[in-house]
Amino acid sequence: MNEEIYSYDDIPFIPDFKSLFNYDYYYKPPPDWYIIITDIINSTSAIANGKYKDVNTAGSLVAMAISNIKKDMNFPFVFGGDGMTFLIPGDILADVEDVLVDTRKLVHNLFDLKLRLGVVPVSTIYRKGYKLFIAKLRVSDRYIQAIITGRGIDIAEKLIKDDKTYNPFRLRKDLPAKNKADFTGFTCRWKDIPSARGETISFIIKVREEFSREKSKIFNNILKSIDENFGHESDYHPLTMDNQSSSVAQSFREARIFSKQTSGFLYSFNKMRINFEIIFVKMIIFFHIPLKINKKNFKDIKQDNIINSDFRKFDGSLKMVVSCSKYQREKFEAYLSKLYDKGFLNFGLHVSDRAILTCLIHRGTGEEVHFVDSADGGYALAALKLKEQMAEL
């Protein structure tokens, strides 16, 4: 465990995903940073009404807006299906609050969803006696994945979700936005991605131990079990070169976001533009045309989606989206149930037959991340099962 850092750039990279639970790579964020947490209120009801893609879209938009404030994607963020967690320095807080408020308004107007927004000073977490740590993993040359963990994140979430009449950690509903959010680089054009093995599952595993070597040991055993049960990473990765397909039928969400309308001339114009781009990129892929725009080589777009995806991550809980057979899933679920019965962990798991993909591509730097979740609820419903399991204790 290391001491406090002053800049995200100061943190050395974890060498690989299997070293994720070596706590020598973790650092304390400065007390003048802020925890930003966003989530869709009543996301379970929205998902039950078939709006799971809208929930994923609305839950990820803030990351694109913050990246356009910073002019890069080199800042800590973790996607959770129906919302996100961020760590930001205090010098950009006012700008970030503006885009949070503007995004909340947009999400309500375009998708009829309510976005909860919370801001908790890191100093508040430390003052209450809780721990907070950060690390980072270089997934690829274009995607650096942040790891945010410690009991402090759970406490920040509780503070934000407290429904008291006045909650000082919640951004007020009447708060004006002085500046508009810029979502340039957000794209959502892919069909649901069918599993190559029959099922696509999202699971969340939370070890009951505090931040410790014992917790590290339990997680490392879980990673070993994942490899033994599901095979090599390429075997269980939810994205392959063959199962990705873009479609003009998916362009309406992106058209809404860039026109800020659900109908009308500007919406129709953006939809037409996006449809043309989808067809054009399909031709580039089919004919292997070496076209490069804004540091993006479009003939390699499917491979980029695979390499730069966030199908596995850690934010105090291990979160993964895995393609597997029913037998493999049941065997793994039985393994987790045994660990649950022994008092080691809690878990939530959602089963689908396909994945969904939401993409962020920063046009200035070429950095990108492709958020992966299982369809029909994914992480949001896995989190609900996790909370129900924890409530039983």
Determine the angle formed by the axes of helices 326-341 and 213-230, rounding to 10 degrees: 160
Structure tokens at 371: 């958020």
Residue 329 makes CB contacts below 8 A (sequence gap 6+) with 199, 201, 349, 351
Per-residue H/E/C for 270-302 = HHHHHHHHHHHHHHHHHHCCCCEECCEEHHHHH
For the chain, the domains span: 8-242+303-391
Say if CB 243 and CB 255 are below 8 A apart: no
Q: What is the pLDDT of residue 209?
A: 74
Q: What is the pLDDT of residue 177?
A: 84
Say if CB 47 and CB 380 are below 8 A apart: yes
Q: How far apart are CA 373 and CA 322, in angstroms?
A: 9
Specify whether the backbone of 112 is left (phi greater than 0), alpha (psi in -120 to 50) or beta. left
Q: What is the pLDDT of residue 211?
A: 57
What does pTM read for this prediction? 0.95
Q: What is the mean pLDDT of each run of 10 residues along the chain (393 residues)?
A: 80 92 91 97 95 95 97 96 95 96 96 97 97 95 94 94 89 87 96 97 90 81 96 96 95 96 97 96 93 87 97 94 98 97 96 97 95 97 95 81
Q: What is the pLDDT of residue 212?
A: 66
Say if CB 251 and CB 189 are below 8 A apart: yes
Q: What is the pLDDT of residue 342?
A: 93
CA geometry: angle at 113 spanning 84 and 46, to 5°?
A: 90
Q: How many residues does the chain have?
A: 393
Q: What is the pLDDT of residue 166?
A: 87
Say if CB 356 and CB 53 are below 8 A apart: yes
Backbone angles phi, psi at 110, to 5 degrees: -95, -30
DSSP states along 11-49? SPEESSGGGTT-GGG-BBPPTTEEEEEEEETTHHHHHHT
